[in-house]
With several copies, the nearest count.
Chain A
């Protein structure tokens, strides 16, 4: 049968890691857009919009990503909507990411002092101008570190896409384990690759947070 050298294992894992990165980017970008839309909906004066958003957030934060993936893949298909692993993963990860991001960002907007809204309002700016020119620019600086930090959660979240047959890093690890019967090596390498992806991001988030803190003093 096939022989895997250590290099073969590593090479295949690294190749599979491309999908992990790709999925993460999709989730992050998709989640970013949807999360931003949710944030805006939550900031508008409309009460029903706010209630809907908080329902959405509670739904996706209150159920496992694993189940969300299963549902997006097999569940939607049974309702007659065909989803490829790509769309299913992108869909579930986007929903999951957007729920968390909108929550993080809402916290950032809420930490902009009320006086800023009021000052902008008393200068006759309308809601969108207040948001666009006064509140969001301030919330943005606060939001960068936790957002970068959350990217780590997204990358780790993509590991679950393996359960709907998506051959990313974790799934590739499983397949190689079965061909080589060397689980210790394979999973240690898988963990290391994740670590190599995530740790620099964690460090960046922390550094950003420190500079932000320093700037605020």
Chain B
């Protein structure tokens, strides 16, 4: 089976600042990838390029063997059905109930009927442990609950890959666990995941492969335990040691 995401020689700058400088990366179906790295190393930018929120200057990204093409709205729409994204700040739609947050995109994009949508939404909510919140408004939920709804909402589009950008960073420490448990269960179920995270312990436990980004490139990569036990570059060594403080 070919890789589901292929990234080659990706370059991207914001004005003067070079943010991505030629990263290469292949992600296989069902793989769980954790991305770590210093602040500003380009982790978020990489994820945002993969689902087309950010244009890149040169290089290529292929998802399911299809090149990203910013000039075709239809192709972008197709891409985003393949690639779901979950944000640090949840970004639930505040004017819609939890149920309607989940149903909106399937209804508009996949032309689901209301009944199909409702049934799916309830199933997904129970999967993230929030079946009773179907009719709640987002602002009535705790951060952890909101993030779980956001996960359910992304899953409703049945993406092939799910991108998670520090999805527990905005949560109070006591709420982090409930979100991570959901992510772990997704990983177990075979979902392809790419997650930027500071929860190193969690990443080590769940990830098949860990990627250390440094100055806009994949600097080191490998099974988590190997990376931790045996960092090859001084940059990773320094990064890991800073974590222990």
A residues in contact (CB < 8 Å) with B: 113, 115-116, 118-127, 129, 133-134, 137-138, 141
Contacts and interface: CB of A to CB of B under 8 A. Distances in A.
A125 to B, nearest CB: 6
Contacts of A133: 104, 108
Nearest to B81: A124
Interface string B74-92: 0001101101110101011
B200 interface: no
Contacts of A115: 87, 89, 91
B108 A125 contact: yes
Nearest to B51: A122
Give chain B's interface residue range (CB within 8 Å of chain A): 20 to 34
A123 B110 CA distance: 11
A123 B96 CA distance: 15
A124 B104 CA distance: 11
Interface in B94-110: 94-95, 104-105, 108-109
A134 B96 CA distance: 9
B94 A138 contact: yes
A141 B139 CA distance: 16
A137 B95 contact: yes
Given A113-B89, A121-B52, 14 more contacts: A118-B91, A119-B91, A121-B80, A122-B51, A122-B80, A122-B83, A123-B154, A123-B157, A124-B105, A125-B108, A127-B73, A129-B108, A138-B93, A141-B95
6 contacts: A113-B89, A118-B53, A121-B53, A123-B104, A123-B105, A138-B94
Given A115-B91, A137-B95, A138-B95, A122 B109 contact: no
Contacts of A126: 73, 77
A125 B51 contact: no
Contacts of B73: 126-127
Contacts of B104: 123, 125, 133-134
B153 interface: yes
A118 B84 CA distance: 12
Given A126-B77, A137-B95, A138-B95, A119 B87 contact: yes
A134 B95 CA distance: 8
Nearest to A128: B108
B91 A124 contact: no
A171 B85 CA distance: 61
Nearest to B94: A138
Interface centre among A118, A124, A125, A141 (most CB of B within 10 A): A124
Contacts of A123: 80, 84, 104-105, 109, 153-154, 157
A113 B104 CA distance: 19
B76 to A, nearest CB: 8
Contacts of A137: 95
A143 to B, nearest CB: 13
A67 B51 CA distance: 51
B188 to A, nearest CB: 24
Nearest to B79: A124
A109 to B, nearest CB: 14
Contact of A124 (B77, B92, B93, B94): B77
Contacts of B92: 119
Contacts of A134: 93, 104
Nearest to B150: A119
A35 to B, nearest CB: 22
Contacts of B153: 123
Nearest to A140: B95
